[in-house]
Amino acid sequence: MRKLFGTDGVRGTANTHPMTAEMALRIGAAVGRYFRREAGGVHRVVIGKDTRLSGYMFENALTAGLASTGMNVLLLGPVPTPAVGLMTRSMRADLGVMISASHNSAEDNGIKFFGPDGFKLSDQAEMEIEEMVATGVRLAQAHNIGRVRRVDDARFRYGERVKSSLTRGLRLDGLKVVVDCANGAAHRTAPEILWELGADVVPIGTSPDGLNINRGCGSTCPRTAAEAVVAHGADVGICLDGDADRVIVLDEHGTVADGDQIMALLAARWAAEGQLQGGALVATVMSNLGLERFLGDRGIGLERTAVGDRYVVERMREGGFNLGGEQSGHIVMSDFSTTGDGLMAGLHFLGEMMRSGQPSSELVRQFVPVPQLLKNVRFAKGQTPLDTASVQSAIAEAEGVLNGTGRLLIRKSGTEPLIRVMAECEDEALLERTVDSVVEAVADAVQA
């Protein structure tokens, strides 16, 4: 079993195992050696980051580790995660690295890896790299140590790619847009792109100080943007997270639309135009049952995967699908990007507003969601509350109660020390009782 890697790379609190400078150095050396297994030729890696204070520390540690195995390192600076996937492929690099803990708070950080094709690494590759971290690697000879340089125009290259995904000639003239950049990686890129396309831009969350990423703003806290939408009389709000790989949309009243609603809009539109490859949308087990019914009514299939946008992408690649994502706002449009791209998805929503002439309030409500409740229980390192008999019993009882009327999903988060308990049911009172019964059992097991 993997010990370092979770569902989206290595993640944790900065300066606490495994997110220490020493471990980042070892990981850099291991992944560098992994991608230099074949001798000869020039080997290069691109490294991007978000705006966390600890990003400087990990950037330097990873750079040292990678260079020590002969990898030439290209530093992109603060860029969205999808920009790293793009630049890895366009610069013919062997490897891409993104230093970010995505939507987590500033004290956390993480390391995500992309292969030469711009896609995130497989579980098997991550397991092999973990083994190399544990056993150590052979370093390059002194004359073969890698070189390091900065790439100054990465965000501009990425911006052009994002704009090129839209219908040629599309402009956003007359559209007032609040864009919340979460004080993160897109704090300059997103407002610039919207302005270039003609929108009247109201930017918020664009003053990162290393400690305020995702704090009271962004896709995990859309209240700030919702207030700005109403106060400025904006037509729509776009909320990104710290590394801009997910998006939440707000209508002109400040009402929130999650990834399920955005995917429903895009899937229906693409299917009507014959652009939806494979006749299906790929989403995770967390997506609402209402989305599944909406798609079914239109003859569109729904392929469900484990939670994590890379599992969505793996299924898309296996089945030849070109649209997928997560309820949390990771939207993957594989015709244009190798991973979730919040800014790109947000622009396509704005494009649909311009094409249809409909207000955002008409587009954010594609289907009526089945009541869904999600609660989290935090646990300590080393605890395995889901393995206890009392929790197993509570889960079995809850599944029996919901049998035929809803569904229950309990899982361990791959990015935080949390047990997530989610259920769907038309009967909201029954829904709350069911979730609470499992949450109580998990909490008791944690405290025991």
pLDDT single digits (tens) 178-197:
999 999 999 999 999 999 99
Domain edge (last residue) among 135, 153, 171? 153
102 is in an annotated binding site: yes
Residue 301: strand pairing partners = 280
Amino acid at 345: A
Question: 431 and 343 in one domain?
Answer: no
Question: 438 and 335 in one domain?
Answer: no
pLDDT at 412 over 70: yes
Task: Give me the CATH number covering residue 301.
Answer: 3.40.120.10
Question: 282 and 381 in one domain?
Answer: no
From residue 100, how far is each of 15, 110, 214, 320, 348 by CA, in Å? 14, 5, 12, 29, 25
In the chain, % of residues over pLDDT 90:
91
What per-residue confidence (pLDDT) applies to 221?
A: 96
Tokens 């003859």 belong to 299
Rounded mean pLDDT of 74-95?
A: 97
413 is in an annotated binding site: no
Top-confidence residue, 416 or 262: 262
Amino acid at 237: G
Question: 37 and 131 in one domain?
Answer: yes
Among residues 159, 201, 164, 175, which one has the least CA distance to residue 355?
A: 175
| Catalytic annotation, pick one of 68, 100, 102, 337 | 102
Please give the mean pLDDT across all residues of the chain: 95
- pLDDT tens-digit readout, 85-129: 999 999 999 999 999 999 999 999 999 999 999 999 988 999 999
In this structure, the strands spanning 95-99 and 44-49 are: parallel
pLDDT at 448 over 90: no
Tokens 């944790």 belong to 12
152 is in an annotated binding site: no
What per-residue confidence (pLDDT) applies to 41?
A: 72
Tokens 């750079």 belong to 63
Q: Which helix (H) or strand (E) holds 179?
A: strand 176-180
Residue 375: strand pairing partners = 421
List the helix and strand counts (H, then E) for the chain.
14, 19
Judge whether 49 and 111 are in contact, CB under 8 Å.
no
Q: Phi, psi at residue 257, to the nearest 5°?
A: -120, 125
What per-residue confidence (pLDDT) applies to 38?
A: 62
- Say whether 360 is catalytic: no
- pLDDT tens-digit readout, 265-323: 999 999 999 999 999 999 999 999 999 999 999 999 999 999 888 899 999 999 999 99
Label residues 349-363 b or e (16+ Cβ within 10 Å = b).
bbbbbbeeeeebeeb
180 is in an annotated binding site: no
Of 23-27, 368-372, 381-385, 406-410, give the lowest mean pLDDT range: 381-385
Domain containing residue 333 = 259-351
Question: 11 and 146 in one domain?
Answer: yes
Residue 152: strand pairing partners = none
Rounded mean pLDDT of 145-149?
A: 97
- Whether 303 is in a domain gets the answer yes
pLDDT at 177 over 80: yes
pLDDT at 443 over 80: yes
Task: Give me the CATH number covering residue 409.
Answer: 3.30.310.50
Q: In this structure, what is the dihedral angle of CA atoms 332, 184, 351, 358, given to the nearest 10 degrees?
A: 110
DSSP H helical segments within 307-341, as ranges?
A: 309-319
pLDDT at 199 over 90: yes
Task: Domain count for the chain, please give it.
Answer: 3
- pLDDT tens-digit readout, 211-265: 999 999 999 999 999 999 999 999 999 999 999 999 999 999 999 999 999 999 9
- DSSP reduced 3-state for 249: strand
Question: 134 and 104 in one domain?
Answer: yes
